[in-house]
Structures are given as structure tokens and as C-alpha cells.
Amino acid sequence: MRYIIFLFTFLFIFSCKNTTTSDSKTSKETSETDIDNTEADNDSDLSAISTKDFREFKVLDSKNLTKSEIWSEINPQLEDFTEAEYERLKPLILEQDIPALQKHIADGTFNYQELTKFYLYRIRKFDRENPLSLNSVIAINPNAIKEAQKLDNNYNSGAIHPIYGMPILLKDNINASGMATTAGAVALKDNTVDDAFIVKQLKSKGALILGKANLSEWAYFFCGDCPSGYSAIGGQTLNPYGRRIIDTGGSSSGSGVAASANFAAATIGSETAGSILSPASQNSVVGLKPTIGLVSRSGIVPISSTLDTAGPITRNVMDNAIVMDAIFGEDQSDEKSFMIMWESGFYTKDLKSTSLKGKRFGAPKRFLEDTLYANALSVLKQQGAEIVEIEEGKLELPNFIRLLNLDMKKDLPVYMDNYANKDISLRTVSDVIDFNLKDSLKVMPYGQKLFQGIADDTGDTNYLERIKDTLSTNGKQYFDIPMKAHNLDGFLSINNRHAAFAAVAEYPALTVPMGYTGEGVPKGLTFIGRRLQEKQLLEWAYVYEQASKARVAPKDYN
């Protein structure tokens, strides 16, 4: 994820910080804020990127974007969509999976244009400048309704991908035509661009780009002293399970919140080390961080060309498989992309008939005191899985932050030169730092500590390669050693607790709703597998999801 995230707590990055934040006080759930059992970045100030005790938000609504600006072009196109029509469609659309939506389309119950208008009406109704506002959407595709009408005109139920006509929200570090790609930063507010490769993949299968989701600014590798979900452009994203109380996770905060609040059929996030897993877990939805290189990164504002990836965030596993099936593919402009010969339908094929019988999963002993985790293990056992309690290795991830520093220092100029709007003169991290200093209160109210750390890092290419080698080796060994010793099929974690290890190993990870704490904070059961085991992760998570039925939609948004 370019995208890094609030690799929450974890050790190194942006945490999904299970801190609960209100206007006057904050309490921490220590079970969610441990740093795992690694020392990690020995020479970095981890306090800058780990969970913090925020007593209040400095900013809620954006000082750089208004609701009227977002909706000015769409409002006239929504005049014929009434509250009565919204109420008619609501039980047919809310919490329904993509196959159910497609069946309604096939039956003539509603069409793609009506589906699109429903989501737009709902976003406008709930998302900004009202008592339930979530600030999860940062831009709307001005052509969404017209594009939906074209999809209706070209509809052929026998020859479409399941993603056809489904309104999708993109994290706002992903280039898409018709809207600026800002990464939440005022410096990029005029960054109108062509579609990223992943967007072309979606459109080639008929997906409809509904708009852009807010994010933790610069994928949460910017401020160091700010809450997850904040960006100067988008304001403060809030969690629908507890506005101003429960953390959103980051950095794909808007994508996680929008998926949970039923603002789109599905959303796309991005991750460097926890930025999909964290907000998906915190908002009780399903998030998949793919093997690095399986999904293109071209045209996505970067953090790290070593670790970044995009991935789907959805309300259920079936939809996640459908979106994954639509976005994977070789991109020759992406140095890590590779050819894979899987045909369309690979990730959804036989998903409903899969079994956990005889599957062996490693469960860290230190998590067993977590009631939700223990209950999840019981569900897996009831489905035929074997749970092996394991002691985790004592491996470290030295210089993790410096990897991100040195990658972003070189990767941001590459994005600006090849994928950004040519009228933007800024090219480097230092350029952005200088730009922000001109209006710090409006542009960077929490400072730019991590960006300054990037600018100050003097490591060279040889040093970067040594860091990569060490981290890759340690990350793989962290999972491979217990998997080999205990003949494990997969590894079971909580939220994004092992996101950094999965990141440097370049292994896939998928989180699925596991339930809620006594305070109502969502948690996710996270499956981690070996390289290119996305299909297996989806199968395991599907069985668990169907058996547990753990997700409950946020009650104030029904």
C-alpha cells in the first residue's frame, strides 16, 4: 500500500490503533496495541508511527473541501431519485453480496443506473456535514450515472464478469480519470490524471468507478503525530461503529468505512504494511492484501515499490473474491508484476464447496486469552480444521522504517514524472515539505514528521538493498519455520498484528470479521498464507465467515 497505513500498532507502522478517541478523553485497549514480540526498527523513533493517545481531533471537517464541491455536478443528475425510491431499494441492496445484486439486475428489479443512484444518494445522505457524517468519500465521479446508463444499454446477462456494473470506490491514491488523485494532500489537489492499470482492469470487465475514498494522508507515512483517517483534503474519517470513539484504522480508512457503511458494492484499498488489514478489521469488513506483484501498482501514489500493493475491501468474502478476480494481471510497467495464467473466475470457482477438513493452522499462544480469537478457533475446529498452538520466533525487522524512507525518496519522483499531472511542479518529498510550510495550519495541522524523516535519511542504494535482503529473509522465516515444523497450511492472526512480517515476506493476508469487544470495537481474524495462496485464503475465510456470521452492520446506517 503505498498505502501504508496506520500500520497500527504494529511495530512499525501505522496501526490500526485500537485507541478509542472522543472529544475529551481516550482509552486504549492494550490487547490491540501491543507491538508484537519483535523489537523492529532499532534506530527509528517508533513512537512516531505507533499508536498514540489522542485526546481530541484537531480537525474534523475538511478545511479544503466542502460537501457542495463534491456534489455540484452530480446533484442535478440525482433530482429524479427520491427518498421513496431509496427506501424501496434499501432492503434489496444493503448488505447484499454482488451475486444477489446481479440477480436483481437480471430479474429486472432494478438496473445499474438505479443501483448507482442509490449509492450516490446514500453517500450524500450520510457522509458529510451531518450528525452521522463519516467523511469517507473524497470525490465523486461526475460521469458515474451516465456510465451506468451505458452499462445498462450494453447489458448481456450471459456474457458479463460478476463485477460488471458494480459501483466501486477507489482509495484516493489510485489514479482515475475524471477526478483528481490527491493522496489526501493539498499539494496534489490538481492532480488530474489517466486511469491506473488496476482501474483499467476494473473497467475492462465493466466495473463502474463511483468515486474516491478518503485515506490517511500520504498513506499514513506523513505526519507521525496524527490520527488514522485524517487527510488535509478529506478531513477526519470516522468509524460507523463509534464516531469519534473507535479508530478507523489506516491508511485505507475511507475504503474500510465506505465498505462497512454500504456506500458502494466494493472498495479498493492499498497496503504497504497493514493499510488494508487495519481498516478492514476496524470496520468489520473483509480485506485482502495480495502477494506483491499480483496486482499492479502503476499509477498509484507510492510509499514503497518493495512492499506496496492494492487490494479489495468488501463486506463479505464472495465479493472479495470477485473483485480480486477482476483486478489481478500482469502490468509490464510494474517491475514486480508477473505473468499468471489463471483464467477469469479462478478466485470464485468452487468457493462455496470448499472444506477445512484436515487443514492445519498455526495460532500464536499469546493470542489465546483473547475471547474473540478463542471463539474463532472453536468455529474453525467445528469446521474440521486442526489448530496448532505455536510460540512465535524471536526474529526482528531491523531498519523497517528506513526501507520506507529510502523507497519513497526515490519512488515518489518516479510517480510524479510518469503518472502525475504534468502541470504540478512538485517532484520530491522535499518539494512537498516546502510547499506545506507555506500554510501549515490548513495543510499540515499535525505536522509532517515522517516526511521530514524521509528527507533527512542519507542511506544509499547499497544500504537499501541490504535492508531489503535482511527484512525479506526474516519475514519469510517468521512464517516458514513454524509452517514447516508443524506442517501448517496457514497462520492465524488478529487484525494487522502480523502485517509487517507478511509485508516484508511479500505473503498474502486476509482479514474477516471476528466479532466485537465489550465496548463494540470490531476485530478481524486474519489468515496469512504463502506466496500466491490468495485463493486458499479466500476459501478458508469463506468457510469461517459462513459458519460464524460475525459481521453486524453498523446500526445507525441501516
> Could you list the active site residues?
171, 251, 275
Query: In terms of Cα–Cα distance, which of 82, 193, 67, 213 is closest to 137?
Result: 213
d(C-alpha 443, C-alpha 492), whole Å = 40
Tell me the residue type at 294. Answer: L
* 178 torsion bin: left (phi>0), alpha (psi -120 to 50), beta (else): left
Tell me the residue type at 384. Answer: G
List the grid coordinates of 259: 465498505
Name the phi and psi angles at 156, rounded to 5: -140, 100
- Kindly report whether the peptide bond that precedes residue 251 is cis, defined as omega within 30 degrees of 0: yes
Which residues, including other chains, have CB under 8 Å from residue 158's CB and lie 6 or more apart? none
Q: DSSP letter for 32, please.
A: G
Distances (CA, A) of 263 to 240, 283, 325: 12, 13, 21
d(C-alpha 301, C-alpha 425), whole Å = 16
Query: In terms of Cα–Cα distance, which of 264, 8, 20 is closest to 136?
Result: 264
d(C-alpha 368, C-alpha 365), whole Å = 5
List the grid coordinates of 53: 493517545
Please, which residues bridge with residue 440 across strands?
none
List the grid coordinates of 327: 483486478
Helix axes 144-153, 112-126, angle to 10 degrees: 160
Give kind and range of the element (H or E) at residue 286: strand 286-289
Beta carbons of 193 and 97 less than 8 angstroms apart: no
* 360 torsion bin: left (phi>0), alpha (psi -120 to 50), beta (else): beta
d(C-alpha 109, C-alpha 89), whole Å = 9
Q: Mapped to the 3 state alphabet, what secondary structure does 135-161 carry?
A: CCEEEECCCHHHHHHHHHHCCCCCCCC
> How many Cβ atoms from other residues are within 10 Å of residue 461's Cβ?
9
Strands (E) in 290-350, as ranges, are 309-314
Distances (CA, A) of 353 to 61, 322, 489: 46, 16, 18
- Residue ranges of alpha helices (H) inside 108-252 are 112-126, 144-153, 197-204
- 3-class DSSP state of 184: coil
d(C-alpha 538, C-alpha 237), whole Å = 28
Please, which residues bridge with residue 528 across strands?
491, 509
